[in-house]
Every structure is written in C-alpha cells, then in structure tokens.
Amino acid sequence: MTEPAIKAMIQLMDDSDQEVVHMVETQIRTLGPSIIPILESEWENLSLNPVLQNKIENLIHEFQMESMKTKLMHWKQSGAMDLLEGMWILATYRFPEYSFATLKKDMDQLYYEVWPQMRDNLHPIDQIKVLNGVMFDQLKFGANTKNFHAANNSFINVVLESKKGNPISLCVIYMWIAQKLGFPVYGVNLPNLFVLTYKHEQTQFYINVFNKGLIFNKVDIDNYLAQLNLTPLDIYYQPCSNLEIIRRVLRNLIMAYEKSGHDDYRAELTDIIDSLD
C-alpha cells in the first residue's frame, strides 16, 4: 500500500461512522510495525485533533509491542545466547528508538575502563576485588535504594546512564564485564535477591553486586535460606540461564508497574512472560 493511501486511511480513523473506523483500524493493523514512521509523521501533524492523536499513539504502541515480542521470541528460539541482546530488547519496550549498537558501545566503554586495571596471576577473589574497586569506587555504580521498585531500574540504558539499579540489572552489567575479562562469573536466582557466582573447577564463591560486590560463600546462602524458612534447592547455589534472567527482569517490571498502578503495562508484560514460559 502506498504512503498516501495509508495516510488517507489514518484520517478515516476519526470518521463519524464507527463501522468505518473499525474496518480502517483493522486494515491498518494488518500492515504491521513497518508503518510506524508514517504514523509518527501523521501524529506530529495532528496537534489540533487530540482524539485522532490518541488513536495513533495506541496503534504505535501496539506495533512496538508486537515488534518487541517478535524479537524476544526469536532471541529465545535462537538459544538466548546473548544476554545483552535480551536486555536491549526489553529496554525497547519503553525506549523503542534505543539501538543495540548504542548499548554495545556503552558496555564496551565500561570494559575499557576496567581492563587496564586488571592484573594477571591474581587469586580469583583478588581479581573480583579489583573489579569491585573500579565498578563501585571509580565508576560509581550502586544500588538504587531510594526507588528500589521503579520500573527504570530494569531498563539497562537507564541504569547505564544513572549508574543506579536493582540487583539484577547491576548484576547483568557486572557479569558481562567479568565474562569479557575471562572470569567464570554467572547469575544465581536467589529468592528476593539476584547475585552472582564465580565458579571454576573446585573454586566457587558468590558476589552480592547490590552490596558493592560483597563476597560471600555457600554457608551464607544456607543461613539466608534458613531465615526465609526455605528448603535449600540446587537452583539457589548454581548458575542460571540467560532466559531465566530475562524472565526475572520481566517479573520485576510487572511488579513495578503493579505498584505504580499501570495495569495496562502489567497486563502486556504478563502476556510476554507467559509466551516465554
């Protein structure tokens, strides 16, 4: 369909005949996300028609949701190998113009800040302590304790800009840098807290990134689980998959929107996490 024809259809979305409006909206939806630029252009030219503007906004959001969901399903079906790509796809939920190239550039820059300060032949714990010093003392990353449940804590672009986040977003950034440095560092799904583990052969310990990289051991997890009256399951001690991390980020977002009263966002994300399950 040509651009003039699409623009003419958009104008009909404000027709007085609701049957015509329904037919036009159905036809526009079949065109898919590729017409978002046309919708945006028309939205900018409709400052005197708030009803039509609102309809266009809703259509744009629907298309962006469809695009995000398709990318996320493709990411899962292709093996969910690149966690950074998964985090980028989630960020496009609220920041659709955010590019993966921008995310990769920002993450590479962090790595270049850390890499020159690392030393060979250090004990793994000492390697992590050096990484902690750069991340938390030099680069000033830290916990967003003032707005712990804010949705923005789950969007990696916002966390990179503010340097404040929740446990899982900070862990993703920390883990990506650690793995790029060659460290065997992985995510661990603890109840109410996401942490990392350094695991290689007989060496294993844990890192609480939300608490400035605090290093702890299996006994500490035992005690933590005992305080919560939970059975010590293997998943609380061993690395989890990238898909599990993305699912947990989605659950955090759902909780954030639930607390802030954004029921539409909560419903959309619930549908997405159900599709991943």
Q: Write the DSSP string, the chain.
A: --HHHHHHHHHHTT-S-HHHHHHHHHHHHTT-GGGHHHHHHHHHT-TT-HHHHHHHHHHHHHHHHHHHHHHHHHHHHTT---HHHHHHHHHTTT-TT--HHHHHHHHHHHHHHHGGG--TT--HHHHHHHHHIIIIIIS--EE--TTTT-GGGG-HHHHHHH-EE-HHHHHHHHHHHHHHTT--EEEEEETTEEEEEEEETTEEEEEEGGGTTEEE-HHHHHHHHHHTT----GGGTS---HHHHHHHHHHHHHHHHHHHT-HHHHHHHHHHHHHH-
Q: What is the pLDDT along the chain (277 residues), one digit of tens a residue?
A: 788 888 888 888 877 888 888 888 888 888 888 888 888 888 777 555 788 888 888 888 888 888 899 999 999 999 999 999 999 999 999 998 899 999 999 999 999 999 999 988 899 999 999 999 999 999 999 999 999 989 999 999 999 999 999 999 999 999 999 999 999 999 999 999 999 999 999 999 999 999 999 999 999 999 999 999 999 999 999 999 999 999 999 999 999 999 999 888 888 899 999 988 7
Domain boundary residue among 77, 94, 129? 77
Domain boundary residue among 14, 44, 77? 77
Q: Are 170 and 144 in contact (CB under 8 A)?
A: no
pLDDT at 12: 83
- Is the domain of 170 the same as that of 145? yes
Residue 43: domain span: 3-77
- Is the domain of 200 the same as that of 152? yes
- Is the domain of 191 the same as that of 252? yes
Q: Which residues contact 15 (CB under 8 A, 6 or more apart)?
A: 21, 24
- Is the domain of 198 the same as that of 227? yes
Q: Specify the pTM.
A: 0.89
- Is the domain of 41 the same as that of 99? no
- Is the domain of 240 the same as that of 112? yes
- Is the domain of 146 the same as that of 46? no
Q: Are 206 and 188 in contact (CB under 8 A)?
A: yes
- Is the domain of 100 the same as that of 66? no
- Is the domain of 64 the same as that of 199? no
- Is the domain of 137 the same as that of 225? yes
- Is the domain of 167 the same as that of 246? yes
Q: Are 173 and 159 in contact (CB under 8 A)?
A: yes
Query: Total domain count for the chain?
Result: 2
pLDDT at 230: 96
- Is the domain of 89 the same as that of 73? no
pLDDT at 31: 84
pLDDT at 216: 97
Domain boundary residue among 42, 77, 112? 77
